[in-house]
Amino acid sequence: MGPPKTVKACLFDMDGLLIDSESVYTTSISDILVNRFNIPGGLTWDVKMKLQGLPGPKASQTVIDEYKLEGITAQELYEWTSRKQAELWPKVQFLPGALDLVRKLAAKGIPMVVCTSSHKDKYDIKTAHLQEGFKHFELVITGDNPVIAGKGKPLPFIWWLGLSELNDKLRSEGRIQEDIKIEEVLIFEDAVPGLISGKRAGGYVIWVPDPHVLEMTKPEELLDNGAKGELLTSLEEFDLAKYNLD
């Protein structure tokens, strides 16, 4: 497949890609694992990888199953960690290169959409103080959108919905005459489920995983030796010229 010859839009994951919110998830879950269930070290990366891309309640059930927690339901764990997270969301910041990239793409007139597994209320809290970057996005698709209920990552539906709604918006505003195709899109992701979903959607994925993820995966296989995407260690490395975006 290879990268698009002409990039007409970009779709972005959010947590762990644009903002450093993944650390908040780790802190909130580790806190209860250590202090209530006496699990030394808290959340480990082998389990954390399984949580990426999952909606909150499902992620909570995964934590319970992986650590064999007793005396707590998924809903109770979700509510407890949500309270802890609410204290920390206002402190999250853009990850290196994220704000600069978004601004440059906006300046080039490239339409962008956030496609995140986070629910709408969480998205609002996480981004309220970061509007200097998020104001540049045309649309936001959140994980609690009823159109994709039960169809989260690693399934491809969130990307298809994001592109579909973007095309509808651009058409209604007279900014395009022909729909943008998924083959003309770059998908930015950090998590393995998101990478898989982007590939399944038919897009070319710019994958920016945490170093811990690289230690536990085979990047070349996941990216089909470069045919389905590019591996970066940071958004600072993204080369606009490589995709004719300079």
pLDDT tens-place values along the chain, 246 residues long:
688 999 999 999 999 999 999 999 999 999 999 999 999 999 999 999 999 878 788 899 999 999 999 999 999 999 999 999 999 999 999 999 999 999 999 999 999 999 999 999 999 999 999 999 999 999 999 999 999 988 989 999 999 999 999 999 999 999 999 999 999 999 999 999 999 999 999 999 999 999 888 888 887 777 776 678 999 999 999 999 999 998
Helices and strands (H and E) in the chain: how many: 11, 6
Q: What's the sign of the alpha-carbon dihedral 45, 46, 50, 53?
A: positive
According to the model, what pLDDT value does residue 226 have?
65
Q: Supply φ then ψ for residue 116, to 5 degrees.
A: -120, 145
Three-class DSSP category at 136? coil
Residue ranges of the chain that CATH labels 3.40.50.1000: 9-20+92-243
Q: Identify the helix (H) or strand (E) that includes residue 239.
A: none
Residue 154, both tokens: 């690693």
Query: Which uninterrupted H or E stretch holds 115?
Result: strand 112-115
The pLDDT assigned to 224 comes to 76
Q: Are the CB atoms for 93 and 25 separated by under 8 Å?
A: no
Rg of the chain over all Cα atoms, to the nearest angstrom: 18
> What six digits make up the tokens of 232?
């970066």
* Cβ within 8 Å of residue 91, ≥6 positions away: none
pLDDT at 47: 95
Q: Alpha-carbon distance 27 to 7, whole Å? A: 37
Tally of CB atoms within 10 A around 33:
21
The pLDDT score that the predictor gives to residue 225 is 64
Specify the CATH class of 9-20+92-243 in words: alpha beta
Contact 154, 197 (CB under 8 A): yes
For strand 229-231 and strand 185-189, is the pairing parallel, antiparallel, or unpaired?
unpaired
* Number of Cβ atoms within 10 Å of the Cβ of 63: 23
Structure confidence at residue 94 (pLDDT): 99
Tell me the CATH architecture of domain 22-91.
Orthogonal Bundle (1.10)
Residue intervals of the chain classified under CATH 1.10.150.240 are: 22-91
Please tell me the predicted confidence (pLDDT) of residue 155: 95
